[in-house]
Structure 1
């Protein structure tokens, strides 16, 4: 079948989004949720207009596990501390998942999809890297202007972390773009250099982890995905025990950046809350309302982790340094906290299945590893903009993986 014309192709909305997504994330990363939803929906509509048929999804093992997890999340809304928010979140995630599965079907028949998506991805990442570098070098003029903030906000530099995390997610997919190795290599190096320059440690780890994982699969295509799937599933299930054992032996946190020390203290608080309701958890979206989570850490907890300086005590007395600010900064602990052992078992299976499926191509596997790293270190599990970004990357990875 000849390539579909640009204006009729279901691939076109996704390509347009890939071309603007990294710059959009630099300006306002939360817009990704709406942008991805619109692009996926337009891809489905374009398929219907072309074929006069709905691209009904074929979920496969990974898709059905995702459906199962959402089903348990909906059930867990019954005992949640935030039942209305829980139902709303599950509904939004289910819609995103359905659209992603349908869009993946919609682009299957377009022979030009890998090239169009690949070139749009490369162009968007290049633009995002340049724009993020300019914004950071100029004192974040772009984001200050877009958001209407005053110019004396030095802490806004850390707000580039979501944009760099998105670029770290997409960066391994560059390896599958149908262009020369020189161009692909230059773009990967530029993306890695940007992650090193900007103040976002988790994004750095995700960027390098994704690229290295892609290289590992290229060398050992069967072994690496299986080992990674086993390791991830084992870590997710054993997370409370792993964290409890590690925290019991933690050295003084005084030398660490305050944000890193804060995460360690959050994990300590969360492990104790998980132990109180281990089987079914506190309920979907309950992390933001856990009893005691809105309080600051007591002095005894700070002393236990060696945070005895006046500067540390002052930092942890700020309103933002709560015991549990909205989410756990670790996907495994958040799933345990909210969904208990039952939900965690499903999530562990989902993570393992996703890594095994992504292992069909080095680029897709690198993307999946980058998503796992970011999930274990940064954003909340259910944040719409991040879930939408991961689903978009998965659809693109599937299309690029079909390139011959």
Structure 2
């Protein structure tokens, strides 16, 4: 996703990587299937991919900065458990269920496995990466088409699949399940679009876009629509303004991590929040209440935060998490945690600046995917949800695979072998 890996891509093209190519194709095949059938499966998929990719893992200097930042976040999160109201007595941990509840431990395991998957699959040879990229792009188009058709029919396909397994599901719950596929589509749209454009399959890009938008509208996936819109604006900014646009992106990425609590507090003081309460539907009204409560409580422990997973301890005022990544980081890990996370995402954004010097199309893709992830994270999911972190890692992998498709040397799915 960053220009720092250009030299590594060149190196990967000169060596055969049949095992890594196989892992990449496996991940590409599973991604659309999980996005539709079981989005929570992105957590075990990326963990498995990391373990499978270990034989081909090559730690490089370019991979060190982001990994060190993520290690620092995990260490600070673990340290914050000492003052978190959800602190767990280690001596009372007995079974797997108790250990599985340790978010701090899971962060280190995810960093090791997801990180291994991202770093190792950047070393896939160009032929192998092109094959995996093509599978991923066609899979994204198929996912968009199936999700749109299912949403138009009231999730009839999803209900039928459940009946086949002997587990009936209510139509309204089936629609919710179908809506989850839009989050993967919103993130994978950008690398898939680049892949399809380089394979001269531009008509499929429009099909994927229409399918994603139709599903998002029918299923009320407002965050996905916002992500697509914001991603499109940033794509245009970076594509046409190139390095200047990419530099603006760095500031846009940094701002929410610095200003999120202040913006909410100012909005409360100026009456903007009260005005919005009268304008927005119930789901957004609930978000406004959560954000106001979180911003107010951030003031009590602005530097250290309330501790990891503290969001879960405020009862109905915050159901599970704040529905805003930046506010959750401020609330749980304080200014220190928010700053570390901001540095990580700004590092990714600065990689777009470097990448824009080489390819504006690849830079625009990376910028749009990054912003889409931040927009959805700023409106929908908890920071520490395993599947959401796994989907973020998958987006990084997808952007890396897309960059290997330099020319339309082949356009079908009939060249999946050999894997090197």
| Correspondence for 1:56 | 59
TM (norm. structure 2) is 0.79
Question: How has the CA–CA distance of structure 1 residues 116 and 239 changed in structure 2, closer, same or farther, with 3 Å as cutoff?
Answer: same
| Correspondence for 2:409 | none
Deviation digits for residues 269-316 of structure 1 (CA, Å, limit 9, x no counterpart): 111211111110011122112xxx21xxxxxxxxxxxxxxxxxxxxxx
Deviation at 1:136, TM superposition (A): 1.7
Deviation at 1:154, TM superposition (A): 2.4
Give the one of 301, 310, 327 matched to 1:277.
Answer: 301
Deviation digits for residues 48-77 of structure 1 (CA, Å, limit 9, x no counterpart): xxxxxx423542433332222222112222
Give the one of 371, 374, 388 matched to 2:390.
Answer: 388
| Correspondence for 1:324 | 318
| Correspondence for 1:128 | 143
CA distance in structure 2 between the partners assigned to 1:218 and 1:184 by the alignment: 21
| Correspondence for 1:87 | 104
CA distance in structure 2 between the partners assigned to 1:137 and 1:184 by the alignment: 20
| Correspondence for 2:7 | none
TM (norm. structure 1) is 0.82
Matched, 1:104 2:121: yes
Deviation at 1:337, TM superposition (A): 0.5
Q: Which runs of 5+ in 2 are unaligned?
A: 1-12, 89-101, 356-362, 407-420
Give the one of 240, 257, 264 matched to 1:236.
Answer: 257
CA distance in structure 2 between the partners assigned to 1:158 and 1:344 by the alignment: 31
Deviation at 1:403, TM superposition (A): 4.5
| Correspondence for 1:30 | 40
- Secondary structure of 1:276's partner? coil
1:330-341 matched pairs, under 5 angstroms = 330-341=324-335
CA distance in structure 2 between the partners assigned to 1:207 and 1:132 by the alignment: 16
Question: Which runs of 4 or more aligned residues in structure 1 lie more than 6 Å from their structure 2 counterparts after TM superposition?
Answer: none
Deviation at 1:174, TM superposition (A): 2.0
Question: How has the CA–CA distance of structure 1 residues 22 and 71 changed in structure 2, closer, same or farther, with 3 Å as cutoff?
Answer: same
Question: How has the CA–CA distance of structure 1 residues 213 and 192 changed in structure 2, closer, same or farther, with 3 Å as cutoff?
Answer: farther
Question: How has the CA–CA distance of structure 1 residues 118 and 105 changed in structure 2, closer, same or farther, with 3 Å as cutoff?
Answer: closer
CA distance in structure 2 between the partners assigned to 1:154 and 1:212 by the alignment: 33
Contact 2:130/2:404, CA 8 A, preserved across alignment: no
More contact order relative to length (CA 8 Å, sep ≥ 6): 2
Deviation at 1:220, TM superposition (A): 1.2
Question: How has the CA–CA distance of structure 1 residues 209 and 117 changed in structure 2, closer, same or farther, with 3 Å as cutoff?
Answer: farther
Deviation digits for residues 311-359 of structure 1 (CA, Å, limit 9, x no counterpart): xxxxxxxxxxx21111100010000001001111111111211112145
| Correspondence for 1:179 | 199
CA distance in structure 2 between the partners assigned to 1:187 and 1:219 by the alignment: 24
Aligned residue pair count: 363
| Correspondence for 2:312 | 288
Deviation at 1:156, TM superposition (A): 4.5
Question: How has the CA–CA distance of structure 1 residues 104 and 232 changed in structure 2, closer, same or farther, with 3 Å as cutoff?
Answer: same
